[in-house]
Chains A and B, each alone.
Chain A
Amino acid sequence: MTAADFKQPAFVRTLPTDALPPPASMTGAIGWARANLFSGPFNILMTVLVILLIVWVVPPLLKFLIIDATWSGTDREACLSSATRPEAGACWAFVRERLPYFIYGSYPIPQRWRVDIFFAMLAIGIAWLLWLRAPRRDLGALYFFIVLPVVSYILLKGWPLIGLANVDTSLWGGALVTIVVATVGIVVSLPVGILLALGRRSRMPAVKLFSVIYIEFVRGVPLITVLFMASVMLPLFVPDAWSPDKLLRALVGIAMFASAYMAEVVRAGLQAIPKGQYEGAMAVGLNYRHMMRLIILPQALKITIPNIVNTYIGLFKDTTLVSIVGMFDLLRTIESARIDPKWATPVTSATGYAVAAIFYFVFCYGMSRYARYTEARLAKSDRR
């Protein structure tokens, strides 16, 4: 009997049937919820607890920040709770009135356009550098690292010869100080950090020793003590005539601190480069400077970008500590405004901190998103 002789019984299908759709309980929203929220007794418990937490936190927060909030008013009376409004919410009227102070500090009001120009120039510089398809990014780097520092120094500090009145740095404040300190820290710490990292891996014992001592010393102590040192010891160490102003002391402290951390980040990158890269560079006859500039550092910096940005985020958050040496950064201006009798109410503090939280979160989260984006873009070249 051959296969052709075999008679297919009538009750056997000749074709396979279509697959049944998955049970309704496994697909769509219900299936998703079963798989991700209610997959077992423990998960059900967790889900319920988290939902309770959200219900406990989110509606009161929205109620405080938006529904019960005071949007306009001229003094604390507007933000107090009253018979008609038993629960006073966030006092946005206070923020509205004090916003210029939060941005400029005590910078003289007629001169504030100079700060605005500085912000605009900084924004242009950052966009030019970060937007990858921007034209002439080499000019952008020149602008950011050479033109911008000089022009902003003249603009903010003043140069009576060209008609810009001097503004003492003790009058600077608010977001201006935060951004100036962060920018200087970011711009200074990378090159100094690279030098220190190279020094730490150098074969010259004296160079290596000094780099190690510096890095380990600064990383071993809290930023506050470094700032204290910059603020009380720096004036002692220089001749009386050169005694630096408070802002410069804070800048020196922050830059010293950030450089040491940057050095360790860069060193990790240098160590991750295979030895063959060094040997290859030497074999084609490059000297140390060319080897580092053309072969090693481009690769090392590329793989350390996420960590460099993390250091920058830390630096940005650390700028809040400059208030210990008497600078009025954003957080400090909010601190001094919230206890001002004109606006002091039970809700003023929370409102002020909410403003600060939004400001810092936007900057830090923005930086971390950009780092992730860059990382993903650079990872493309490693894909095979």
Chain B
Amino acid sequence: MTAVPASERPKVSLLYNPRVRTITYQTLLCAVIAFLAWSAINNAIENLRRAHIASGFEFWKFTSGFDISQALIDYSSTSTYGRAFWVGLINTLVVAGIGIVLATVVGFLAGIARLSKNWLLSHIAGGYVELVRNLPLLLQLLFWYNAVLKALPELRDSLTLPGGGFLNNRGLFLPDPIVQPGFEWVLGAFIIGLVGATAFRVWAGRRQERTGEQAPVAWVALGLIVGLPLIIYFLAGQPITLAYPQKGRFNISGGMELLPELVALLLGLVVYTGAFIAEVVRAGILAVAHGQTEAAYSLGLRPGPTLRLVVIPQAMRVIVPPLTSQYLNLTKNSSLAVFVGYPDLVQVFAGTVLNQTGQAVEVIAVTMAVYLTISLVTSLVMNWYNSRMALVER
């Protein structure tokens, strides 16, 4: 085949030249976006100047002048806006952290229950999932907060919980564990147990590959991680004491106080996200072909090991990516705290600080940057996990 000389090729109009076209399109797009950005910035500067709103991040160091009902780091109304930001961020992370753990538990239980052979159980779980997934989270939050928690008895008639807690319309009061000297030994034992268990697992795995002999990894790990610290705990003279909440006439002192806002937010997020996780888990388990279970049985595996060694590892591959996006959803949905008044990042920073300073652009940008960072970090970790777990195909 001989190459056609350039002079003999049919002349194509520039209009139909793909290269020219793509470059034109992209230049146009860039120009339009640049123009929009330019005019937006221009308008913003003009509008801000007219409203006498400062710009920049000087406000970060100004005194905030407002109180926050739940602060895990030192904070008072004389602290700075920057400090308020950190308080809000920590509160968001607290509610997201607790919520993720509880929602996972609820979701896995409900997802497995939905696949149960027990007709009643599977239909109750299905009813829960359908009902909760079809109602707005905000409605559920308001219901928990206004119709359930605010309708709880007054302080005088607090419900007493088993184990020394109280529940009333001012929140949930639980015994507070207080660490005494000597606890560091328990902590040390726990870390040693963790390291020891990991080492044992590696050793047992290598030995099994070499000789085929199995070692009771689960029992040894349980003994090292739970048993060892427990023994040390009693040897060290039980260095944790519980501070029980004391009910007075007008308030409850001591113990650990969970604000009703936090309880409502957690209830709402856990019940809502739990239903979504249940669907993820169900889909993941159903995605493992039934032949896998049958093959495992025919190899002589008992139901327990079949589930543990064959079904779950394959189901997790399907479950984990959507599960992470549910965790992210929960974190983002925790911003609905603003509707029940829990002092999270959005309520404190994008709410109160924004109203006081008026610096909308900076405050919203920082708030969004926080959530974006959380999302992007999670996505990166996820991608790494996925590339490790992905099926190696031919």
Q: Which residues of A contact B (CB under 8 A)?
A: 36-37, 39, 43, 46-47, 50-51, 53-54, 203-207, 210, 216-217, 219-225, 228-229, 232-233, 235-240, 313, 317-321, 324, 331, 335, 338, 346, 349-350, 353, 356-357, 360-361, 364-365, 368
Contacts and interface: CB of A to CB of B under 8 A. Distances in A.
Which size bracket describes the interface of B in this complex?
Answer: 35 or more
Interface centre among A39, A335, A346, A349 (most CB of B within 10 A): A349
A36 B333 contact: no
Interface of B: 22, 25-26, 29-30, 33, 40, 43-44, 47-48, 50, 116-121, 124, 130-131, 133-139, 142-143, 146-147, 150-151, 332-333, 335-336, 338-339, 346, 350, 354, 360-361, 364, 367-368, 371-372, 375-376
Contact of B375 (A219, A223, A349): A219
Given A51-B120, A360-B134, A221 B47 contact: no
Nearest to A243: B47
A368 B40 CA distance: 40
A225 B346 contact: yes
B116 A46 contact: yes
B40 A237 contact: yes
Contacts of B117: 36, 39, 43
28 contacts: A36-B117, A36-B118, A37-B119, A39-B118, A46-B120, A47-B121, A50-B124, A54-B124, A203-B22, A204-B22, A206-B30, A217-B368, A222-B332, A225-B335, A225-B371, A228-B350, A229-B364, A232-B360, A233-B360, A239-B43, A240-B47, A313-B134, A350-B143, A357-B143, A360-B136, A361-B131, A361-B134, A368-B134
A148 B325 CA distance: 36
B47 A228 contact: no
Contacts of A36: 117-120
Given A37-B120, A349-B147, A320 B338 contact: no
B139 A357 contact: yes
A236 B22 contact: no
A36 B122 CA distance: 10
Report, nearest first, the 6 A-B pairs whose CB atoms are least far apart: A220-B375, A364-B134, A237-B40, A206-B26, A317-B136, A36-B119
B46 to A, nearest CB: 8
Contacts of B368: 217, 220-221, 225, 229
Contact of B44 (A217, A220, A237, A321): A237
Contacts of B124: 50, 53-54
A54 B30 CA distance: 61
Interface centre among B137, B333, B368 (most CB of A within 10 A): B368
Contact of B121 (A46, A221, A313, A324): A46
A217 B142 contact: no
A43 B350 contact: no
A35 to B, nearest CB: 8
A47 B360 contact: no
- Interface SS majority for chain B: helix
Interface centre among A51, A54, A321 (most CB of B within 10 A): A321
A207 B139 contact: no
A207 B33 CA distance: 11
B375 A361 contact: no
Nearest to B44: A236
A317 B367 contact: no
B26 A353 contact: no
A217 B43 contact: no
Contacts of A207: 25-26, 29
Nearest to A206: B26
A353 B142 contact: yes
Contact of B136 (A210, A235, A331, A368): A331
Contact of A204 (B26, B48, B143): B26
B44 to A, nearest CB: 5
Contacts of A320: 136, 138-139
A205 B25 CA distance: 11
Given A204-B25, A365-B134, A368-B134, 18 more contacts: A210-B33, A219-B375, A221-B367, A222-B335, A228-B346, A233-B44, A236-B360, A317-B135, A317-B136, A320-B136, A324-B338, A331-B136, A331-B138, A349-B151, A350-B151, A356-B139, A357-B139, A364-B135
B143 A353 contact: yes
Contacts of A222: 332-333, 335, 346, 371
A239 B133 CA distance: 41
Contact of A236 (B47, B135, B142, B336): B47
A257 to B, nearest CB: 11
Contacts of B48: 236
Contact of A210 (B29, B47, B350): B29
A329 to B, nearest CB: 10
Contacts of B134: 313, 317, 360-361, 364-365, 368
B361 A236 contact: yes
A46 B30 CA distance: 62
A56 to B, nearest CB: 12
Contacts of A346: 151
A39 B121 CA distance: 13
A11 B19 CA distance: 95
A38 to B, nearest CB: 9
A60 to B, nearest CB: 13
A50 B121 contact: yes
A225 B350 contact: yes
A223 B336 CA distance: 9
Contacts of A223: 332
A314 to B, nearest CB: 10
A361 B119 contact: no
B271 to A, nearest CB: 13
Contacts of B44: 233, 236-237
Nearest to B143: A353
A228 B139 CA distance: 20
A47 B116 CA distance: 11
A51 B123 CA distance: 12
Contacts of B137: 317
Interface centre among A51, A216, A221, A240 (most CB of B within 10 A): A221
Nearest to B48: A236
A353 B143 CA distance: 7
B135 A357 contact: yes
Contact of B26 (A39, A205, A357): A205
Contacts of B118: 36-37, 39, 43, 46-47, 50
B372 A206 contact: no
Nearest to B361: A233
A313 B354 CA distance: 31
A235 B364 CA distance: 14
Contacts of B133: 364
Given A50-B121, A219-B375, A222-B371, A228 B135 contact: no
